[in-house]
Structure 1
């Protein structure tokens, strides 16, 4: 009887060496997660399971603060500098990089065991002591009805936004850090999903996964800076995916130009967020970001592509902690 050929494996099987590598990786990952949990402690780990939690922040004085929806910011516990430094080193290891004096910043998505929360941290000399900020992904979607019910939106503002969505106008959500831009974008996305069928294809582009869209025909893309795949490249790829609407997590750089071109070439009804203090400043900042792509002012393109700017801001005097301060509509 002829012996089976050397190297051939039964269908569906893998060489033993591959199984050993996979097992070693799984064990190394499990050890990493266990070390992370040990450093954070039970109090901080519990925050990742809290549906009201928005952000975990470590300041350089060692205080760990937590922001929760409608409850503001409160001190949770304290973390010694050495523990914080060890945690940043573990995050760097997970992100396949290092954190040291010459490379003092670590940022990116956390492991799935921490819900792929958005992490950003740094060490001295950038800050006196190690610090970090962890933005937790949304677990509950607040609808536009919810926004109206708690008074963040007036009935007139809600009607204005609903009409803009249904008329497939491009909406830019503007606000400061922690003002609730992404949560508002998710409320707008929720309304889009409620009126969308398979015939409406939505493509979402983000640096970390924060946008939630439950429409039946949705594709979500993430940038990968390690592979040099930025938002501009994904926006160009998006146009080959037959999008009807294009959503972008946050516009930060020259990708603004690609987004505006995409919105302005047969893909109306998009959503995006931007850091700015008012609608006029948002349009100016959008132009400045376009110019980072090496082009002159794109004021004309912006007027053609951006139909609505919604401004959301923190308001400590408001029961919900924030409110819609302005809605700008183009001609």
Structure 2
């Protein structure tokens, strides 16, 4: 498959493709023709979802892995290909946009995300009728996630239960979070614990060098970088956007992929999280800006603008550490803002050591 492909098929090839897809994805094809379905999400052979009228629904069906791979191969074959082979596919068919990922990059088996383009143009009057232009959007609170109350700064400073409540508030209000620390400091373990608070109705994508994050939500798609196939974290951050996630967890950033992550977190994916190495929570902000600048696109980004963007993207940074063999939380800061001179932060929690 090519890393990026575009429709270039004859009518005969299209007809063949449709026959193959109807055979391979026969149990799903009814949803291709349903105007209320916007997205078909195949996280793996036995984890299949649709988005219908803005709501995610899990389908009680499965597709054999070999059949799913056949469908992906068919889509790839009628699209133009580059000379570089890749387990990632971004393709178009008439009325459809298809993103697909093959193992081992897709950690739960071959996956696809199929976007149906609407056959009708939505009119302004339709927006009005559906309440899309109303100043207040009302939800049934019994059907939405409960927003927990943020603990006071005084209680957070005392640690304990208030820290757990702060993390629950961060997740429920969809604040982005950066987790920093040294190697083996417990960053992944802390992210795993925080991720357990994500509501089951959310769709979560994870991107890692080595798959370690444990996401309990049922609608989860995981990707693992693979140097053998030329698939790095940066290419996966871009690719993941085609998979319609609510939240994106990046297990570790080390370089220019930080630029793409920053962009992704500011394009409709609040409540995401990332981990990376640093010596403290505040120094993590400066390391992050250095990693962003490793991307050629960010080389000319004015420092003040870059820092403001980082401050807006990550309102909270937490630092994990090891003390005498114990992995623990060492620090929590809130990022208030930034200028060319640096970041304005507020220390919410900082561990001190007393010997006796």
Q: TM-score, normalised by structure 2?
A: 0.47
What corresponds to 1:290 in structure 2? Answer: 292
1:304 paired to 2:312: yes
Q: Deviations over 1:101-127 (max 9, x none)?
A: xxxxxxxx9xx9xxxxxxxxxxxxxxx
Separation in 2, partners of 1:324, 1:234: 29
Indicate conservation of the 8 Å contact 2:205/2:248, yes or no.
Answer: yes
What corresponds to 1:206 in structure 2? Answer: 208
Separation in 2, partners of 1:272, 1:238: 14
Separation in 2, partners of 1:289, 1:170: 18
What corresponds to 1:240 in structure 2? Answer: 242
Q: 1:206 Cα shift? A: 0.7
Match of 2:229 among 212, 216, 227: 227
Structure having the larger proportion of residues in helix: 1
Equivalent residue pairs, number: 175
Match of 1:313 among 306, 321, 324: 321
Q: 1:169 Cα shift? A: 0.5
Q: 1:330 Cα shift? A: 2.4
Q: 1:291 Cα shift? A: 0.6
Indicate conservation of the 8 Å contact 2:182/2:278, yes or no.
Answer: yes
Q: 1:267 Cα shift? A: 0.4
1:162 paired to 2:168: yes
Note the 1:1-331 alignment, pairs <5 A.
154-192=160-198, 195-197=199-201, 200-294=202-296, 295=298, 296=301, 297=303, 298-316=306-324, 321-331=326-336
Q: 1:323 Cα shift? A: 2.2
Kindly report structure 1 stretches of 4+ aligned residues shifted beyond 6 Å. Answer: none
Q: 1:196 Cα shift? A: 2.0
What corresponds to 1:4 in structure 2? Answer: none
Separation in 1, partners of 2:200, 2:333: 25
Separation in 2, partners of 1:156, 1:202: 26
SS at match of 1:210: coil
SS at match of 1:327: strand
Q: 1:322 Cα shift? A: 2.7
RMSD: 2.0
Separation in 1, partners of 2:204, 2:315: 18
Q: 1:211 Cα shift? A: 0.5
Separation in 2, partners of 1:240, 1:271: 18
Structure 2: state its 5+ residue gaps: 1-103, 108-158, 337-356
Indicate conservation of the 8 Å contact 2:186/2:328, yes or no.
Answer: no
Q: TM-score, normalised by structure 1?
A: 0.50
SS at match of 1:191: coil
SS at match of 2:271: coil
Indicate conservation of the 8 Å contact 2:258/2:292, yes or no.
Answer: yes
Separation in 2, partners of 1:164, 1:207: 25
What corresponds to 2:6 in structure 1? Answer: none
